Amino acid sequence: MSEGVMAVVKPEMKSYIWLQTADGSIQQVEEEVAMFCPMICREILQTGMGSSKNYAISLPQRVNPAILGLILDYCRFHQVPGRSNKERKTFDEKFIRMDTKRLCELTSAADSLQLKPLVDLTSRALARIIEGKTPEEIRETFHLPDDLTEEEKLEPLRNITDDPRIRLLNRLYARKRKELKEREKLKNVEVEEDRVDERSVEDLLTFINGGDGDSKGVRSNKNKKKNRRRKDHLKDSSSNSVNGNHNKELDALSSACHDGEVNNMASASKNSKLKDSTSVSFSPKLEFDDGDMDDDLDPAMKEELDREVEDFARRLNSDWPERMQEILSLGEGRLVPISMNGNGSTHRYTKCAAAALSELEEMRA
């Protein structure tokens, strides 16, 4: 394959290629190992360089001697044709265990040498590292400068996280999630089964391709993070729908209940909602770091906020206008727990609004 390029050699003698890194140091490497790397391969074939110390191939700047050693280890293992896919994967997994700084250097070097399999391997590893971290942790891991102003950082969230009700909402959501996990598992069975069906062919694919296992591995790690993402997103998307239905809801609510409390709540929430509506215009940036934080509010305020939150939460998933009409026509006062996001809830609520809402939930369930 590559023997034609170099001088004829006796079977016992290996031929070596000379490589020079940016800092001037020169290394020699077995030819077949060096040829595994496309950039070096091309240099040899096109320019004939590398055959001796004086004509060493200069490597791109991003490759330093230590990293070059690693890359050559990688090439040395993988250029052997007889290895099974499983072996290669095991090697890769062990190979990739290094500190992040080294990993970044390796990615950079592999990219400049155009060694695509190694770029893929290192990029995936970096993606896995990034995946589970908060921005602060990422900054710490990679020593990135913290160069955003406070405003900029909060830009997508500015008008959302400032709202204490949203924070309360986060906590409610978190609690809800814990309470209802069992119920959800039952309902999830159907969805899970479909995925199980594809298992056997998945295994086969992994076996054949040898590398697909990675992508699935990355996916499975995301689940826990999805938790927060989805919760946030839901809130956000719902707040969008809230604003649209705003006035109608409040009118309907105030007409449905003659409870003075409710009216207060309605008007209070109306005020603050209006303030919010302009800022929640487009909602893809979602982040609520403080889901589990306790606010320093005095109890009275807290109560009122709680009520507001419930009201707010109720709206999150309801098709309020149509449903409201149906509820009004039924008009019974049962005390059934309301749910948020369609889940059951055991939270406090005001009677009338709650009754109306209970009807709603029963119909949806």
Partner 1 sequence: MATKRVKRNCGEKKVQNEPDIMAEDRISQLPDSLIHYIFSFLPTIHLVRMSRVSRRWRRMWVSTPFLYFDCQFNDVTFTKQVNRLSMFLKFLGNCLRCRKLYMQPDTFITSLKLHTYYKLGRYAAQRVDNWVRFAIQSKVKELDLQVRGYCTPPFVYTASSLMQLKVHMGSEVASLSTSSSLTHLELRGLKLEVRFLSKFPSLKVLSLISVESNYESFQNLISGCPIIQDLHLLDPKEIHPMHGYLCRLDISNIDFPAKTLKTLSLFSVTCADQRLECLISGLPLLERLTLICFYGVNISILSHSLKYLSFDPFGDNTKAKFVTPNLVYLYLRCRVSWIISIEAPNLFQGDLSLSDGGYKSASYFDLVHFLANLNGLKKMKLSIVWDEDMIFPEDIRNTSSPPLPNLKHLEASLYDKHKKNSELHEFLVWCAPSVETVKINGESYCKY
Interface of this chain with partner 1, residues 84 to 143, rule: CB under 8 A: 84, 99-101, 104-105, 107-108, 111, 119, 123-124, 126-128, 130-143
Q: Considering only residues 242-281, where is the footprint of partner 1 by CB under 8 A?
A: none
Binding test (CB under 8 A) with partner 1, winner from 165, 167, 307, 315: 167
- From CA 191, how far away is CA 186, in angstroms rounded? 10
Binding test (CB under 8 A) with partner 1, winner from 2, 64, 272, 341: 341
Please say which residue, 48 or 132, places its beta carbon nearer to partner 1. Answer: 132
Question: What's the full length of the chain, in residues?
Answer: 365
| Number of residues forming the site for partner 1 (CB under 8 A) | 97
Q: Considering only residues 194-233, where is the footprint of partner 1 by CB under 8 A?
A: 194-195, 198, 201, 204-205, 207-208, 215, 218-219, 221-231, 233
Closest to 118 in 3D by CA, of 47, 58, 155, 70 = 70
Please say which residue, 183 or 351, places its beta carbon nearer to partner 1. Answer: 183
Binding of residue 362 to partner 1 (CB under 8 A): no
Spell out where 31-93 has E strands: 57-58
β-bridge mates for residue 26, sequence order: 20
CA 67 to chain CA centroid, Å, is: 30
Q: Considering only residues 43-82, where is the footprint of partner 1 by CB under 8 A?
A: 62, 81-82
Binding of residue 342 to partner 1 (CB under 8 A): yes
Distances (CA, A) of 19 to 42, 62, 111, 118, 121: 13, 14, 17, 19, 24
Q: How far is the CB of 210 from partner 1 (least distance, A)?
A: 11
Binding of residue 26 to partner 1 (CB under 8 A): no
Which residues, 6+ apart, have CB-to-CB distance to 78 below 8 Å?
36, 88, 91, 117
What's the CA dihedral at 222, 226, 227, 228 to 10 degrees? 120
Binding of residue 3 to partner 1 (CB under 8 A): no
* Neighbour count for residue 270 (Cβ, 10 Å): 17
Is the four-CA dihedral 293, 297, 301, 303 of positive or negative sign? positive
Binding test (CB under 8 A) with partner 1, winner from 66, 144, 274, 301: 144
Q: Considering only residues 310-339, where is the footprint of partner 1 by CB under 8 A?
A: 317
- From CA 76, how far away is CA 362, in angstroms rounded? 66
Binding test (CB under 8 A) with partner 1, winner from 293, 328, 335, 363: 293
Please say which residue, 45 or 293, places its beta carbon nearer to partner 1. Answer: 293
Q: How far is the CB of 140 from partner 1 (least distance, A)?
A: 6
